[in-house]
Amino acid sequence: MIKIDRLKDAVLIVDLQNDFCPGGALAVPDGDLIVPAVNEFIKRFLRVYATQDWHPPNHISFKEQGGIWPPHCIAGTRGAELHPGLRIQGETRIRKGADPAKEAYSGFQGTDLAEKLREAYIRRVFVCGLATDYCVKATAIDALKNGFDLVVLEDAVKGVEVNPGDSEAAFDEMRRAGAIIANSDELSPAS
């Protein structure tokens, strides 16, 4: 069992946004199905952080600009909003990807997320959200690089799976980097 310390642990919800859920511009298959698990999981934490892609209309990741993705999570649109089924209050929002010339898969890239976590005396981050094989993986690896212990919640993430096996490869890469991969039922009640 992994014991949660409410003073030193935080949960980080990665990009659980409308455009990454069914019906969105860049939907992760069944991406919305993790919302109940995320809602149940975040009840155990005092500190909740949520990343959001917050792209300008001419972002480098978009096909029209030479990228690989359709336009998605354009700042200020419904697609960029967090999924309406999320039951969070008082979360800290971290918006990423606002520079049109820079990719930003990681919640740490070009943001003050690391500083905010340190200011709150957070030592370990529990990651959930979308998509396992892109933004979750990049955020998890950057959390480790920034000196945080890390747990990725396997039952509260979903992958894009552009190629079959991408999500499992992402889990393997995160493990090699030092992440613990766990299910919500492996966590003890918060202390």
Please name the residue that has the structure tokens 């010339």.
101
Alpha-carbon distance 98 to 76, whole Å?
11
Alpha-carbon distance 93 to 13, whole Å?
10
Write out the two tokens for 158: 């979903």
| Pairing, β 149-158 against β 92-96 | unpaired
Alpha-carbon distance 85 to 38, whole Å?
10
Catalytic residues: 15, 96, 135
Among the listed residues 59, 51, 121, the one whose alpha carbon sits nearest the alpha carbon of residue 86: 51
